[in-house]
Chains A and B, each alone.
Chain A
Amino acid sequence: MSEGVIYDLGYHPHEGPRLGRAGAVRALYRDGLRRTLGLRRRARAKVAPWGLLAIAILPAVAFIGVAVFTRQMGVNEVEFFSHAQYFDLTGTIALLFIAAAAGELLVPDRTNGVLQVYASRPLTTGDYLLGRAAALLTVVFAFMELPHLVLFLGRAWVAEEGFGSYVAGNAAVLWQTTLACVVYFAALAPPAFLFAVFSKRPALAAGSFVGAMLVLSPATRALVTEAGLKPFGLFALQEHPAVIKDWIMGVAGRRWVPQRAGYDPWVSLVVVMVVALAAGYLVVRRYRRPV
């Protein structure tokens, strides 16, 4: 006869490690990644991020497909778009993505009262915002850099001089696109967070941020070119990262509003930094209020 064993499935104290504040920030970061990408959420939460990612990558994949096809047909001189031009698409998609993600990261915590739970954990306001911003930076960086990486590798694959030679000769593109991605994040994420901390719905935050950005470009263009009011070139917030991106990638031309107003690229860099700091300050100030 075998002896039975009774297992006590009642309450057991936790005897494992406690990671403290660092563990809490990492948890926030991981939750931010999941929330931004709609993971462990309903299917409709996944549509926007993954749909935008697909739209961003599609041109690069199409380019590679066409290049491979034309090479098989014996046509080697296929020139599509440069990395700098590709940023014009990925930058716009990044704007939409950051707008949606910033609202999703900050608004539900506030409207659902989850901030009360954060307030009872070993976290400061700065930790909370840092964890959220780090998650957004990671996803935005991956989101913007991945299409460029696909384009870069595709170009290398179909390059006449061979894969290795192309990579060796154009490796600078990788750090240039990396830096440009960080600039886009610094220019767009803080104002997006600012809209999110004053909105009651994620969609409202995203809509008002995108609307403001999209209105600013044509409005400032008209004020600068038609009315000659050049200082308004500083308010073309969506175009400053594009100016800096061209500066990093060595693209000449004066097609952006700040350039038409006569401002050098370093002015755009200063504007991006000032806007980021001001928006960051206002966001932190908003969260300083008692939960």
Chain B
Amino acid sequence: MPETIIVTRELGFSYGDIVALRDVTLDIPAGCVGLVGANGAGKTTLLRLLLGILRPAAGAVWALGHPVPAAALAVRSRVGYMPESACLPPDQTAADFVGYAAELAGLTPRAARQRASDVLGLVGLHEERFRPMGGFSTGMKQRAKLAQAIVHDPDLVLLDEPTAGLDPEGREEMLELIGRLEGFGINAVVSSHVLTDIERTCQWIVMLDGGGVLRSGPLTEISATDEVSVEVLGDPAPLAAALEAAGAAVEVQGRVVVVRAERADLYDLVRDALADTATAVRRLGPRRTTLEDIFLRGTGDLRKAKDLREAEDLRKTEDLRKTEDLRETEDLRGAEDV
């Protein structure tokens, strides 16, 4: 079991009447963690709670073993944050600002200058490091934002929508950089609503929806299904027919046959069907689903649960109203009696 870097217990936060997070309980291991959810799901709120910028309304949160916000300063000296919105002064050069960001994290001025130069080289801004950042493209700004987040060699970096506003090429480069962070010894929490980005870079997924946790676990576990996918060479029809005859549910997608059956020996069934129909197989294995499928299915379930809960609340309210009406009627009757 890898080391746990973030722990939350029944964490809740509201902006006035709007509930941003509720009952969030998580144990997040070291590595690259994807925080996914639609806009307004509570991703940024969770990141801000981790930094101690916001104070939890309910529950508790620990980052790198420290309670937040009680030990927020200790956490912040070992954490980097790349905000989603703009955070770069346009009149400063990248070298000055990133060096300053390192000094703000407690590095000596000399070390800060050296690391700023190194990290700007690492993110591909070595040539542009003495240019004012006001003239940077969106891609360069995102890289400068990443540089200020990792310049002090943090143990954990929180990246809020790191690929926002980037063109396909810029997105590729940013994802490649994020993918390298673990090799530098930097754990990352990547918040994004672009699920394919998360699939490419993260090993652990936390799905948020409507302020609650939809799923949390390793990507391999989350994306695995109880279905078997068989890609064949040639016509898949005989294989599909054999499997259907054996009682399995079958779906043919081009040369891929997806087999579904609630039985432990599903692979044996497929093997026998392949042998019986003399079908040549190219690939055989568990069918993996995309995060998008999981998310859409999950949000659907959650919405259903929410609708049910709301319907239940509505029923209770109506019952209460009826009871109150009854009581008022009885009170009135009583008053009349008097």
- Chain A residues with CB under 8 Å of chain B are 9-14, 16-21, 23-24, 26-28, 30-31, 40-42, 45, 108-109, 112-114, 116-124, 290-291
CB-based A-B contact count at 8 angstroms: 116
* A11: B residues at CB distance < 8 A: 118, 122, 180, 183-184
Q: Choose from B48, B100, B105 the contact partner of A18 (Cβ within 8 Å).
A: B105
User: Are A116 and B87 interface neighbours, CB within 8 A?
Assistant: yes
Report the stretch among B1-9, B75-83, B234-242, B265-273 that lies at the interface: B75-83
Residues of B within 8 A of A (CB): 48, 51, 53-54, 73-74, 76-77, 79-81, 83, 85-93, 96, 100-101, 103-109, 111-112, 115, 118, 121-122, 132, 148-149, 152-153, 158, 180, 183-185
Q: A120 to B52: give the CA distance in the assembly, Å.
A: 9
Distance of A183 Cα from B204 Cα, bound (Å)? 58
Q: A13-B185, A117-B83, A122-B73 are in contact. List 12 more A-B contacts (CB 8 A).
A: A11-B183, A13-B153, A16-B108, A20-B77, A41-B91, A112-B88, A116-B81, A119-B51, A119-B81, A120-B51, A120-B80, A123-B104
Q: Chain A residues near B79 (CB, 8 Å)?
A: 120
Chain B residue at smallest Cβ distance from A117:
B87
Q: Please tell me if the beta carbons of B104 and A117 are within 8 angstroms of each other in the complex.
A: yes
The complex places the Cα of A45 from the Cα of B185 at a distance, in Å, of: 40
Could you name 10 residue pairs across A and B whose Cβ atoms are closer than 8 Å? Answer: A16-B107, A19-B108, A23-B107, A30-B103, A112-B88, A116-B81, A117-B104, A119-B53, A120-B81, A120-B158
Provide the bound-state CA to CA distance between A119 and B68, in Å: 14
Collect the chain B residues with CB atoms within 8 Å of residue A113's CB: 83, 85-88
Determine if B89 and A14 form an interchain contact, defined as CB atoms under 8 angstroms apart: no
For B149, what are the chain A residues with a Cβ–Cβ distance below 8 Å? 120
Closest A residue by C-beta to B52: A119
Complex-state Cα separation, A119 to B51, whole angstroms: 8
Q: Evaluate contact between A12 and B118: CB separation under 8 angstroms.
A: yes
> By the criterion CB–CB under 8 Å, are B107 and A42 in contact?
no
A108: nearest chain-B partner, CB-CB = B89
B83 contact from A14, A19, A40, A116, Cβ within 8 A:
A116
Q: How far is the CB of A48 from chain B (nearest CB, A)?
A: 14
Q: Which residue of A lies closest to B145 (CB)?
A: A117
User: For residue B83, which residues in chain A have a CB less than 8 angstroms away from its CB?
Assistant: 113, 116-117
Q: Is the CB of A114 within 8 A of B106?
A: no
> Which of A27, A40, A109 counts the most chain B CB atoms within 10 A?
A27
With a cutoff of 8 Å between Cβ atoms, the chain A residues found around residue B111 in the complex are: 14, 16
Residues of B contacting A27 in the complex (Cβ-Cβ under 8 angstroms):
100, 103-104, 109, 112
